Amino acid sequence: MSAATTHHPPLVGFIGAGNIARALAGGLINSGWDRSRLILSDPDATQRDGVAQLLGLEVHADNAAVATRADILIFAVKPQALAAAATALATVAQHKHPLVVSVAAGVRIGDLERWLGGNLPVVRVMPNTAVLVGAGACGLYANALVNETMREQAESILRAVGVTVWVEREEQLDLVTALSGSGPAYFFLVMEALEQAAVEQGLPHATARLLALQTAYGAAKMALEGSEEPAILRRHVTSPGGTTEQAIRVLEQGGLRKLFKDAVTAAARRARELAEIFGKSA
């Protein structure tokens, strides 16, 4: 009988022990997951040592040592390395038949299924770098073999490091990539630009940076914890004839909305291109 069908929680195995795997494993531990039900593998001794020291978890050099035991097998490797890693584990996966979760950006489920030999339940996840601080935004898509219990398992793992949303069509993950996957960089750029503008107007660097970062944090917190949509919140801050109205007018006249539209379009297009490239890598 599989561990998944006993009183034990499923054994979660990570292929790859880099930043994303560590964040997920750490998030699970913080949410009460049994450490003995988490194992990782990585060919890089430095990564293995880091996980052992940071999280105190069992870690192996051989991917197969994890795949032979895992009820939930999470591929947390770079997209260009996924084909080789999955192909090497196809025989084991066909025997064990785990729930497969991939956090490798841009690799389509069909390609991963093919590399693993087919007929496996697979959930594809598009996380973003904020999972490293427990504030991630992750899009998920499941193939037809993923049942409701498996969906809940996958979601609970990703919820340990942020918020999760399911998409109905896999191609929508390209838009998730363009919005939340790449999105942190957009906001970093805005913070950078605000800081620079304030410094050029006379504020000290340290003061400008702290105010820009805290303002961004406060705005996000208000939007997340309140019930009103961003457009309403913006109008609340924008008093007629006031300073904010002047600033917003400049941003709107400068084409800010079109810039973001074009940026998201370009990122989504590149996500589709990369999926084609990664799919042909094996």
3-state SS, residue 141: strand
End-to-end CA distance of the chain: 34
pLDDT over 70 (residue 2): no
The pLDDT score that the predictor gives to residue 74 is 98
- 100 contacts 122 by C-beta, under 8 angstroms: yes
Measure the CA angle with vertex 13, ends 59 and 115; round to 5°: 115
Q: Are strands 99-102 and 72-75 parallel, antiparallel or unpaired?
A: parallel
Distances (CA, A) of 147 to 109, 122, 152: 16, 10, 9
Tens digit of each residue's pLDDT (9 = 90 or more) over 33-64: 999 999 999 999 999 999 999 999 999 999 99
> Domains of the chain by range and CATH?
3-170 (3.40.50.720), 183-270 (1.10.3730.10)
The sign of the dihedral angle between the CA atoms of 77, 80, 85, 90 is positive
- 92 contacts 117 by C-beta, under 8 angstroms: no
Tens digit of each residue's pLDDT (9 = 90 or more) over 119-169: 999 999 999 999 999 999 999 999 999 999 999 999 999 999 999 999 999
Residues contacting residue 212 through CB under 8 Å, at least 6 positions apart: 191, 194, 195, 198
Note if the pTM is more than 0.95. no
3-state SS, residue 18: coil
pLDDT over 70 (residue 1): no
